[in-house]
Structure 1
Amino acid sequence: MTKRIGVIGTPGKWSTETLADALYERTGYRRVIDMGDVTLDLSTGALMHDGVDLCTLDGLIIKKISENYTPHALDRLEMLRIAEAKGVRIFSRPEAILRLVDRLACTITLANADIPMPPTIITEDKAAAADALRRFGSAVFKPLFSTKARGMMLLDNGPDAAAQIDGFHSANPVMYIQQKMDLSGQDLGMVFLNGEYLCTYSRVGQAGSWNTTIHSGGKYAPFEPDADLIALGQRAQEPFDLTFTTVDVALTPTGPIVFEVSAFGGYRGALQGCGIDASTLVSDHVLRKVSA
């Protein structure tokens, strides 16, 4: 019997479409779902997208819940819990992703698991933020909801610091502040499928850029980690119970640190950095699960 698996993502985006293509090749069924087009009727329990009740599908893969991370994205995940309660298998589970879209929720989970991270201060107090910047010397101020370094600010302690903190605070009442680390121009993405290690790629930053994101001109390259580094990535992703994820790791003079665990994983990084087609692997894994 053919399984109907929908892909929640951004229509037209490469990773969303390649995942939908991989599922179509295997099942003959293809549906890309923009959560902005989904309506939930709690009186009937219907979760409708373009005339189809998502609660009638065999499974859903969440490739991207929203083009940009905002608190609104959390509401979309809550809506999907209706389908899950009706027996639709969802990969990764909404409850797991809820702990990752908010940067602070991810950080607290990692801290509770004793995962090494950059020195981090979270505060709503501008005086405390200024004190943190003085201690760190240089720090990255990060929005709680963002991807690919969007909205992040690199601040150096100096005469303009108070005004810069004030500007950041006006848009981000809860300030998430991490000491800027010496990354030697690269950081790593460690790829896991269903908790099993697949590969590691590096993101090499463009000259003159303080971050290594592809959005800022970085490039993917292969990387071979040692067993201890793989074990660290394994420990970091374990509390989240994700179908597919990438753990962002950096090598510093004082040892490796983890920045975050990705809610959705880096499909392009896995392909260009490791030569691994994540769309195929995820599709096969999901179909095995829903067919079991």
Structure 2
Amino acid sequence: MAEQIAISDKILIVSDKPDGQVKQLRRSFRELGSETLFCPLADIAFDTRYPSGIDIPALEGALPAGVIVRSISGGTFEAVTRRLGILHALTHLGVPVWNSAKAIERCVDKSTTTFFLANAGIPTPQTFAVEGPDNAKTIVEREASHGPLVLKPLFGSQGRGIRLIRSIEDLPDPDDVDNVYYLQRLVVRNGPPYRDYRIFVSNGEILGMMGRCADGWITNIARGAKAESVAGPLRQKLEELALAATSAIGTDFAGIDIVQGCEGNLLVLEVNSMPAWTGLQSVVPVRISDCIARAMVELLNPDIKERPAA
């Protein structure tokens, strides 16, 4: 008979570092009476000495009650594959993992995100992802006459490495982009100032949204954009589109980036499976970490949700 797998009552928060958001999550879980454990995913091992087959530091082969993935550090293809394999294994063993490895894989690769959005009929800019400079030149020669393209790193974040492509001369060397060219039609917006929108969804619920306002066309908070509250009829349209995007990708919580063109059309740019919320927290009344923690605790203890308020 196979040895029984031990289950801990601790919730594991996975992150490459104990940043401010990790600290907020730990506080929120603590206030709900749940104990947490912090660990970088790189420090979790496959270990067949244990019935679970996984060794999480301080748990000695036991499994956590649930997992929140705050961030995964970069690394070689082999290292990242192994780390995602840990998340796949935890899900296989019945541990709730937010977000799942499948959802993270769909989000971290922008071309896969775009595929699932378009396949679900969700409006997103025309996008082309190819390998090699010759294929990229073919795309630019065909498409640039219809307007500029935006080149983004396939695995990039926070606005780093984004370039405007108006002609083949603007294309970087293949070594600069790992020989992969992700090209997206530039959405022409009113400005300056330029705006786009970040909507935070957790467990099928809109937790909040913000406008990101900047003098330039790149509107990431990490690049100096300012967070603004969003009011009026636009909110409902953004909410509906964000919920549809999270459903198409399969995320438990996510930050959805949406842009509005000059004609008022809304398009989904990205779905972020490991979103930060510092900027958003400055313009919404709820504590984001509280909402994520509450949703996980209620998943693990359904009777809490059903219990009437005192």
Q: TM-score, normalised by structure 2?
A: 0.83
Aligned pairs (5 A) from 1:64-143: 64-66=71-73, 68=74, 71=77, 72-124=79-131, 125-132=135-142, 134-143=144-153
Once the two structures are superposed, the pairs formed by residues 165-184 of structure 1 within 5 Å of their partners are 165-168=171-174, 170-184=176-190
* Cα distance in structure 1, aligned partners of 2:287 and 2:189: 28
1:25 equivalent in structure 2:
31
- CA contact under 8 A between 2:207 and 2:288: conserved in structure 1? no
Q: Structure 1: how far apart are the matches of 2:180 and 2:80? A: 18
Bigger shift: residues 166-175 or 276-285: 166-175
Q: Is the 8 A contact 1:70 1:146 kept in 2?
A: no
Q: Is the 8 A contact 1:55 1:88 kept in 2?
A: no
Give matches, 1:56-71, under 5 Å: 56-66=63-73, 68=74, 71=77
* Letter of the structure 2 residue corresponding to residue 37 of structure 1: D
Partner of 1:273: helix, strand, or coil? coil
Equivalence map 1:113-262=2 (5 Å): 113-124=120-131, 125-132=135-142, 134-157=144-167, 161-162=168-169, 164-168=170-174, 170-184=176-190, 185-205=194-214, 207=215, 209-224=216-231, 225-254=234-263, 255-262=265-272
Q: Does 1:47 align with 2:54?
A: yes
Which digits, 9 at most, give the CA deviation of each residue in 1:242-284, with x for residues without a partner?
A: 2211211111123111101111234223311323211101111
Shift of 1:63: 1.4
Deviation at 1:55, TM superposition (A): 4.7
Q: What letter is aligned with 2:100?
A: R
CA displacement 1:146-176 (0-9 Å, x = unmatched): 111222222333xxx43x4242565332211
Q: Which structure has the greater CA radius of gyration?
A: 2
Alignment partners' CA distance in 1, 2:75 and 2:262: 32
Residues paired across the two proteins, number: 285
1:141 CA drift (Å): 0.6
Per-residue Cα deviation, 1:71-124 (whole angstroms, up to 9, x for no partner): 554541221222222222212222222211111111100010111111212222
Query: 2-side partners of 1:182 and 1:3: how far apart?
Result: 50
Match of 2:12 in 1: 6
Between the aligned partners of 2:113 and 2:126, the Cα distance in structure 1 is 15
After superposition, what is the alpha-carbon deviation per residue over 1:112-150, rounded to whole angstroms, capped at 9, x for unaligned? 011111121222213214315523442211111111122
CA contact (8 A) 1:270 1:276 kept: no
CA contact (8 A) 1:21 1:30 kept: no
Change (3 A) 1:217 1:195: same
State the shift of 1:38 in Å: 1.7
2:202 maps to amino acid = L
Q: Check conservation: 2:13, 2:69, Cα contact below 8 A.
A: yes
Structure-2 residue corresponding to 1:288: 298
Q: Which stretch of the first structure deviates more once superposed, 104-113 or 37-46?
A: 37-46
Task: Assess, with a 3 A threshold, how the Cα gap between structure 1 residues 132 and 73 changes in structure 2: closer, same or farther.
Answer: farther
Question: 1:240 Cα shift?
Answer: 2.5
Q: Quote the residue 2:307 is aligned against.
A: none
Q: Residue 100 of structure 1 aligns to which amino acid in structure 2?
A: C
Distance 1:42 1:136, change over 3 A: farther
TM-score by length of 1: 0.87
Q: CA RMSD, aligned part only?
A: 2.5
Contact 1:55 1:83 in 2 (8 A): no
Q: Gaps spanning 5+ residues in structure 1: where?
A: none
Percent identity for Structure 1 against Structure 2: 22
SS in 2 for 1:56: coil
Q: Distance in 1 between matches of 2:122 and 2:235?
A: 17
CA-to-aligned-CA distance 1:41-61 (integer Å, 9 cap, x gap): 256443223342475211111
Q: Is the 8 A contact 2:28 2:289 kept in 1?
A: yes
Stretch moving more, 167-176 or 89-98: 167-176
